[in-house]
């Protein structure tokens, strides 16, 4: 087993892939809710990815990623036996679980990949977990079987009704609360706009709400300020103070504005044609 070698690669749908990677030192310390920062090669960009799982004995960590841009598309071209240049972690604070009896985890789209270790980790910890998985349509559904095994109740919803119930995650959450389900905490993981609405709903019902933020990151150590978010009027760094925060305190509009800062450069990057290698390296 080589350092940071891809041991298993499994496509979950057209865009989302599950990797099992050898990283014994990271696996030894990993906890649900934490993430790593990796580089594909020595010139690579550093990108953060949540650990979807880890196996201390086998010395492996699991990553589930969506191919959305430059680095994740490069990762799509890596195969079993290939190695990452480096993986740093575990980073961030683990998911808070103490004192919780019953929670509802709400995952939206790719956010379900990040919600997976949180929901199943809480379940293993003895917490009752209702899981709402929301997707735009049937083709994008991932991890259904894994969530069904790893949580108490799974509610699948799609925006267009092509799979599960036709509903947004917030509609389903509203329904469960109005039916009398009592939660100590709601955990929101997905697009910022979904997390904002879930947190508003939780606040209206006086339920604690935690959101897992995915701000831009560079060093992952609290030094560069790249991942700054405003929480309760104070500057916090998602990499060291998070990634999970009290969702009712997050300045969502500021976070959404910051996440759109580099949209133009990223679109340019994705369309980049590499003349050195004589081919298209990345494409939409």
Contact positions vs ligand FES (CB under 6 A): 217-220, 222-227, 237, 239
- Which of 156, 140, 190, 143 lies closest to 13, judged by CA? 140
Question: How far is residue 23's CA from residue 84's CA, in Å, rounded to a whole number?
Answer: 10
User: Taking CB within 5 to 8 Å according to partner kind, which of ligand FAD, ligand FES, none is near residue 70?
Assistant: ligand FAD
Dihedrals phi, psi of 229, to nearest 5 degrees = -140, 150
CA distance readout (Å), 194 to 99, 203, 242? 26, 14, 18
Residue nearest to ligand FAD (CB): 69
Using the minimum distance from each CB to ligand FES, give the nearer residue, 132 or 213.
213
Question: How far is residue 270's CA from residue 272's CA, in Å, rounded to a whole number?
Answer: 5
Using the minimum distance from each CB to ligand FAD, give the nearer residue, 70 or 123.
70
Tell which one of 106, 214, 228, 250 touches ligand FAD (CB under 6 A).
Answer: 214
Using the minimum distance from each CB to ligand FAD, give the nearer residue, 48 or 53.
48
User: Binding to ligand FAD (CB under 6 A): which residues in 220-279?
Assistant: 243, 259, 266, 269
β partners of residue 212: 244
User: Taking CB within 5 to 8 Å according to partner kind, which of ligand FAD, ligand FES, none is near residue 71?
Assistant: ligand FAD
Residue 38 binds ligand FAD (CB under 6 A): no
- Which of 85, 94, 116, 111 lies closest to 23, judged by CA? 85
Question: How far is residue 41's CA from residue 77's CA, in Å, rounded to a whole number?
Answer: 13
Which residues of the chain form contacts with ligand FAD (CB under 6 A)?
A: 35, 45, 47-50, 64-66, 68-72, 110, 113-114, 214-217, 243, 259, 266, 269
């Amino acid at each position: 087993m080589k350092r940071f070698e891809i041991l298993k690669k499994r496509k979950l749908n057209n865009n989302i892939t599950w990797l099992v990677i050898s990283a014994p030192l990271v696996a030894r310390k990993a906890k649900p809710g934490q993430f790593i920062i990796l580089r594909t090669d020595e010139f690579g960009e550093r990108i953060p990815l949540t650990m979807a799982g880890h196996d201390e004995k086998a010395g492996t960590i699991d990553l589930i990623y969506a191919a959305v841009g430059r680095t994740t598309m490069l990762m799509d071209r890596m195969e079993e036996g290939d190695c990452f240049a480096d993986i740093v972690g575990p980073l961030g604070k683990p998911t808070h679980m103490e004192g919780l009896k019953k929670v509802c985890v709400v995952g939206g789209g790719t956010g379900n990949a990040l919600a997976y270790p949180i929901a199943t980790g809480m379940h293993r910890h003895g917490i009752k977990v209702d899981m709402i998985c929301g997707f735009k349509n049937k083709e994008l559904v991932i991890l259904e079987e894994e969530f069904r095994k790893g949580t108490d109740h799974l509610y699948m919803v799609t925006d267009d009704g092509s799979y599960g119930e036709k509903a947004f995650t917030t509609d389903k959450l509203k329904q469960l609360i109005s039916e009398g389900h009592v939660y100590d905490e709601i955990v929101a993981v997905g697009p910022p706009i979904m997390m904002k609405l879930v947190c508003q709903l939780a606040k209206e019902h006086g339920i604690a709400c935690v959101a897992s933020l995915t701000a831009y990151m560079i060093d992952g150590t609290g030094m560069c300020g790249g991942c700054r978010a405003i929480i309760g009027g104070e500057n916090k760094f998602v990499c060291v103070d998070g990634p999970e925060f009290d969702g009712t305190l997050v300045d969502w509009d500021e976070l959404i504005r910051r996440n759109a800062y580099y949209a133009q450069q990223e679109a340019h990057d994705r369309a980049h044609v590499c003349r050195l290698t004589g081919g298209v390296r990345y494409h939409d």
